[in-house]
Amino acid sequence: MLTRACLLLALGLSLPVLGQEGQYRSKIRIDTAGDSSQGAGLSVDELERQINSIAEPYARSSAGRHLARHFVEQREYDKAIEYYQTALAAGGLSDVANREMLRELAQVYLLSENYADAAAALERALRIKLVPEATDYLLLAQAYYRLGKLVQVVAALDPVREQGLVLTVVQQRQALALYYQAGAYAQCEHLLRQLLDAEPDNPENWHQLASVFLQQGKRKQALDQLTLAREKSVPFREQDIRLLADLQAVNGNPFGAAELLQDALSSKTVAANGLNYRKLFQFWLQAREQDRALAALVQAARLSGDIELYLYLAQLQMEQEAWQPMYQTMLGACKAPLQDKYVGRANLFLGISQLKLGDAPSARRSFINATLVGGAGAQAGQWLQYMKADPPTDSELRGVASVCHGAGDKQVAADAFSAEANGVAAAQAVTAPGRVESPALAVATKTVPKLNFFYTEYDKPLAQLTLDARKLALAMGVVLVKSGGTIDGPLQVIALGEGAQGELQLGFPVRGVPRGGKYKYRAAGEFKCAYLVHDGKGGSLADLWAGFLTRVQEAGYTLTNERRLVMQAGSGLELQVGVE
């Protein structure tokens, strides 16, 4: 697009006026050798003293022109203007000479930033009955542009084409910049087609023509222009790729727009940032590719940290009953303190995901938190009624204590939230005769709903699996998609049994009934478990498991022979161990 900066650059006016004097001086030809005035042999001082006494028109005009050119060289523009006016008023020179002086005078006015008089001088020059030059019209348009008279800019430039005057490439670009700023897009289109013929390998011509089409509301022509440019391997900047994708979408091809942007993100020709992934999400959503749209939205939320995107993602996951991904989304949304206006909705969504995953105590506290701040109190109250929850205690009503918290609220870690939600009840839970469980030993529990599992068996140590997981998951994902399945949750490992008799299964929760050669598919029932969410930093996985299992057993739970490891966004992990 032709911006104001492009215009000034095209006109050679981007520097302060004093820095442009050479530009205009180079066009003012000072050649006194040809002057045959009676003062030609006089000094400048003597000529100034005598000019008013010169009566003969030709001599007076010649002397005035000689003095004017001298003072231009000295950068004394006021005096130069005075003597140009004297020379013109004497009327002693030919039309050709007068027109040349008017051009020189106009340029001096431009140097003096007197744009109105510059325009007047050029209008006067163009009224002389001689074949005009394109330069005169360009200078006149520049003067009117400086005056902010855009209608006159167009009126000054249009005669160039009407009279069949030929512009150089540089002059075409000057006219293009002026026309664009004046909003004369049809004239811009004509000039850009000429520039494309003259410079077919210049990418600016291709992209500027697309911009001009857009300014005229010609979206289809703009799309065709950029598509042809792409086919001809014209270089595309990031903004050009985004524009092409936008044009495909508005012209009824959101799928093509999404594929273009997805490929550009994969090849790193556009930045992998929240803005581009948000746009990708919108394209996939318009194309009704729900799973791809969700995947893009996950990236957009993660990269931008935009809480609105997290909440929208949680809403979509709730509609799809993707409870575990919804829970992970809310944990990601609440890594940092929230603005107060988001705390209620965040706790509402967190509570829904916790309830659907079987963690009723944590869900109860989240819903209570949502009733304490504005925005979602009524909905949270309905959920509390639905689950027939106990009324909030005085302690719970004192303020928000949650994973999803505001700046002035109490922050509670995800893996301690159930203990926080259970409060005194956890401290008083008797797990054996004569023994009271310590709150410090309380662990979070939940029931994971039934899921359909698409997996491969793994016969190497668990430590090695963490290194192989990404490669295996990519290959599995390709087969899964090709066989008609849809991923319905994060990658996870299910361990059944212990030691040599045990089995490791790596796979995805899925929708549909995919088939994939070496891959297997099974229905996994509800899974009651104790769980721990970990950021994946510090310590080995083996040590983490050992400490967690000890904590669960010390809390009084009996372990089953099933373990699960759920991979979260980034390097996060959720450890799940079956309990009775």
Residue 225 sits in a domain whose CATH number is 1.25.40.10
Task: Output 226 or 516, whichever has higher pLDDT.
Answer: 226
| Residue 423, pLDDT above cutoff 80 | no
Q: How many CB atoms lie within 10 A of CB 395?
A: 10
Task: Name which of 326-335, 348-357, 466-475 the model is least confident about.
Answer: 466-475
Query: Is residue 499 exposed (0-12), middle (13-18) or buried (19+ Cβ within 10 Å)?
Result: exposed
Q: What is the pLDDT of residue 436?
A: 32
- For residue 274, tell me if it sits in a domain: no
Please tell me what DSSP assigns to residue 524.
E
Question: Looking at the predicted structure, is the pLDDT value of residue 461 above 80?
Answer: no
Q: In whole angstroms, how far apart are CA 79 and each of 72, 76, 91, 233?
A: 8, 6, 19, 56
Q: How confident is the model at residue 209 (pLDDT cuts 50, 70, 90)?
A: confident
Does any domain span residue 481?
yes
Distance separating alpha carbons of residues 229 and 350, to the nearest angstrom: 48
Range 551-558, long-range pairs (CB < 8 A, 24+ positions): 551/441, 551/443, 552/443, 552/577, 552/579, 554/441, 555/431, 555/437, 555/441, 555/442, 555/443, 555/530, 556/429, 556/431, 556/432, 556/437, 557/443, 557/445, 557/530
Domain assignment present for residue 211? The answer is yes
> Mean pLDDT, to the nearest integer, of 235-245?
90
Residue 537: per-residue pLDDT:
65
Q: Given this model, what pLDDT does residue 13 score?
A: 34
Tokens linked to 575: 């450890």
Asked if 454 contacts 523 with a C-beta cutoff of 8 angstroms, the reply is: no
- Determine the average pLDDT of the residues in 334-357: 91
Please check whether residue 402 is in contact with residue 347, taking contact to mean a CB–CB distance below 8 angstroms: yes
pLDDT of 114 above 60? yes
Confidence at residue 427, expressed as pLDDT on a 0 to 100 scale: 35
For the chain, percent of residues with pLDDT exceeding 90:
14
For the stretch 52-90, pLDDT in tens is 778 888 988 888 888 989 989 888 888 889 889 888 988
* Mean pLDDT, rounded, for 385-408: 88
Range of the domain at 526: 445-579
More confident residue, 515 or 368: 368
Q: Is the pLDDT of residue 425 over 80?
A: no
For residue 426, what are the contacts with CB-CB under 8 A and spacing of at least 6?
Answer: 418, 419, 437, 439, 442
- Take residue 224 and report the two structure tokens written for it: 């065709």
pLDDT tens digits along 309-319: 899 889 888 88
DSSP state for residue 558 in the 8-state scheme: P
Give the C-alpha separation, 185 to 213, whole Å: 8
Helix, strand, or coil (residue 43): coil
Residue-wise pLDDT for 359-377, tens only, equals: 999 999 999 999 988 778 8
Cβ count within 10 A of residue 518: 9
Confirm if 431 and 488 have CB atoms less than 8 A apart: no
User: 516 pairs with which residues across the strands?
Assistant: 519
* Residue 462, pLDDT score: 63
Please list, in sequence order, all residues whose beta carbon lies within 8 angstroms of the beta carbon of residue 279, skipping any fewer than 6 positions away: 242, 245, 246, 261
Burial of 22 (0-12, 13-18, 19+ CB in 10 A): exposed
Which residue in this structure is represented by tokens 């009840």?
425
> What mean pLDDT value characterizes the chain?
80
- The tens digit of pLDDT for each residue in 518-538 reads 788 888 889 998 888 776 666
Residue 295: pLDDT over 70: yes
10 Å Cβ neighbour count for 113? 9
Of the candidates 183, 207, 230, which is a domain's last residue?
A: 230
Q: Mark which of 230, 265, 300 sits at the end of a domain.
A: 230
H helices of 320-376, in order, are 323-333, 340-356, 360-371
pLDDT > 70? residue 413: yes
pLDDT of residue 39: 41
pLDDT at 435 over 70: no
pLDDT at residue 40, rounded to an integer: 44
Helix ranges, 357-497 (H)? 360-371, 377-386, 417-422, 424-427, 462-482
Q: What is the pLDDT of residue 41?
A: 52
Whether residue 478 has pLDDT greater than 80: no
Tokens of 449: 């709903």
Q: Please tell me whether the overall predicted TM-score, pTM, comes out greater than 0.75 for this model.
A: no
Residue 14 included in any domain? yes
Query: Does residue 199 lie within any of the structural domains?
Result: yes
CATH number at residue 484: 3.20.80.10
Contacts of 28 (CB under 8 A, 6+ apart): 69, 72, 104, 107, 108
At 2, is the pLDDT very low, low, confident or very high (cuts 50, 70, 90)? Answer: very low
Last residue of a domain, one of 213, 230, 247: 230
State the total domains in the chain: 2
Residue 514 pLDDT class (50, 70, 90 cuts): confident
Looking at residue 536, its pLDDT comes to: 64
**Residue 414 falls within a domain, yes or no?**
no
Band (28; pLDDT cuts 50, 70, 90): very low
Residues in the chain: 580
Q: How confident is the model at residue 6 (pLDDT cuts 50, 70, 90)?
A: very low
Residue 296 falls within a domain, yes or no? no
Torsion of CA 251, 256, 257, 263, to 10 degrees: -160
The residue with tokens 């698409």 is 454
Lowest mean pLDDT among 37-41, 151-155, 185-189, 513-517: 37-41
Which tokens sit at 97? 């000479």
d(CA 422, CA 362): 7
pLDDT one-digit tens code per residue, 118-150? 899 888 888 888 888 888 899 899 888 998 988
Residue 30 lies in a domain: yes
Q: Tally Cβ neighbours within 10 Å of residue 55.
A: 8
pLDDT of residue 22: 34
Question: What mean pLDDT do residues 31-38 have?
Answer: 39
Whether 525 and 560 have beta carbons less than 8 Å apart is answered as: no
Range from 27-31, 193-197, 574-578 carrying the lowest mean pLDDT:
27-31
